[in-house]
Structure 1
Amino acid sequence: MSSLQGCCTLCSILMLIGGNLAVLVKIHQDSVNGTEGQSVLLPVSYRLHSAPQYPMRIAWNSSNVQDEFVTCTLGKCSLDAGGAPSSCSAQTFYRGKYRGRTKLFPANGSLLLSDLRLSDSGVYSVTFKPSHQTFHITLTVHKQRSTPEPPGGNLAVLVKIHQDSVNGTEGQSVLLPVSYRLHSAPQYPMRIAWNSSNVQDEFVQLVTCSVLNCSVGAGGAPSSCSAQTFYHGKYRGHTKLFPANGSLLLSDLRLSDSGVYSVTFKPSHQTFHITLTVHKQRSTPEPPVDPKNPDPTHSYVIGICSSVSLLLLFLLFCCIWHRGAARQQKRRIIKQQQASSVEESHMESPVVMDMATIYARVGDSFEQSQQRPTPEVVYASLTSPGPPQQDTGLYHLLV
């Protein structure tokens, strides 16, 4: 029973190690800042290095809620040479107060939060199952600052670029963060247009959005906008614009997406620029491998593989030892049984011999006893000297 329990424990360890090796998860930022009313991306990516166990589950949780507010079940994904998934078939469910303003991307696990609130600040956790790997990202939402209205009120739209330079990874997603506020009665329809100039200096029109109407908060931040959005060219299908803040989300990044991206607000004709650099998906986790300082993740994988090999050898040794011990025990029992049979046979032989001797001696004593002689009859004539009138007779005597 102990050997069976040991085998089961070892199999469980191997399954756990194999599951952890199948999915390599990377958190690009462990701390992210956002602004009230805007959008923010919690960036995650993962790669599959062995045959994944489908269905695979991705779940997001927050310190602000008790239960998971986003769960995604992956049915199957296409994998490139580096193990990066794409074209995933998935079912995603949104729950609680985050429903309607969250979006999860199955191909990388990243989570987009829109219409941020101050109460959204907290620690967000993403878990990959069945490997049960959990990672954490801290989100801090800052209050929307009020800016004095420009003199004369000639600028109805105040635009803010939160980052003028953004990095992304091939096959992943990235958010080009923008926000705007309305300080006077805007002229509807308001137009937001995104263009790019890539590394080949090609000018590409990406997205145009006509904002028809918006609700405006106390600080001038728009919300609940009704808009018509059009996506153009090669970016159709992997871009998304958010009318309430003007930010642009790029999914399934390619190396050719690197370049300068421009956003223009009309009729005010304000244009702002953000530089995007897309890095190649590497076969090993960043940073690059240095001969003097080997990649700890690479060493970790080698260590786990070595441990698996040692465990398998240990299991093989245990099986061989157990089988040999069983055979030796069996031989010992057989020898003991044989020895017991010999001793019993030796004990029975003197008893039989003694009994035969006794019978023999008793027989001899009977044979040696003298037989009594057979009685003989002797006839004799006796004459008694008595008176004559008495008859004489024949008498016999038994001797």
Structure 2
Amino acid sequence: MSDIYVTCRIVSSPDPSVELELIVHQDSINATVGQSLLLPTSYTIRRSVSHWPSIQWTIGNRMIVYFSTLNGSINTEGFPTWISGKTVTYPMHQGRVEFYPMNASLLLEDLQLNDSGTYHITLLHFEKIIRKNLSVWVHEDPASFDPSVELELIVHQDSINATVGQSLLLPTSYTIRRSVSHWPSIQWTIGNRMIVYFSALNGSINTEGFPTWISGKTVTYPMHQGRVEFYPMNASLLLEDLQLNDSGTYHITLLHFEKIIRKNLSVWVHEDPVSFGMYLLQK
């Protein structure tokens, strides 16, 4: 199967001041195998634009749909009244999805268990990019999910300084307050870039709710392969051979059906310990 590439043309008259808003009307949805499921979204453009935003749907780092907008019009509230453009549906999803440019919603048809995951919708307008997420959980039957499970996520340091070349642990832990039939998945990102996604299969907890063992599959995304290590028992992430561009806000997310917990941790990487000391003095 040949790869499909979308080429973006740089326009000489960018308009980064355009006011865009993207709304995801449900951030988590449960569904059953064989159903069709609408991922409901809408967007507004607060004033007339010469270049419309493109729209992109992905799951993880896999493209689903890319809509290249040519022209359109909006009403007084900023909602599109008509729109023209070209929709590209990527091979793995052809025949199973339908995209609606007027509101950017996506219809998933004939759901399968492996359609579970975090879906990302992105509006792209030159320097202004808006991205939001929506979690989908597909079950074998309606009785097989339990949204009442009690989860707690702890980030033990919310800000860490480190030096180029070091290894750095982002220390976290989590508890599950009672036995579960479906374990939460765990996701690490920096900004809007995926680092690690852990799909839990099974496990057990002690009387305090901490995991005593866990099995599952870890996916490390290409930009971080060979430089990170993930620990499913406590959800911590080890960053190796730090570089200056590893500085940023890291996000850890527990995803369990309708219950999503997300916390942040800031990392500051300095060239040497002396520059770190100067940073402390400046503070």
Aligning the two structures, in what range does the TM-score lie when normalised by the shorter sequence?
0.3 to 0.5
The structure that is helix-richer by fraction is 1
Q: TM-score, normalized by length of structure 2?
A: 0.43
The structure that is strand-richer by fraction is 2
Structure possessing the higher radius of gyration over alpha carbons: 1
Q: Give the number of the structure with larger relative contact order, counting CA–CA contacts within 8 Å between residues 6 or more apart.
A: 2
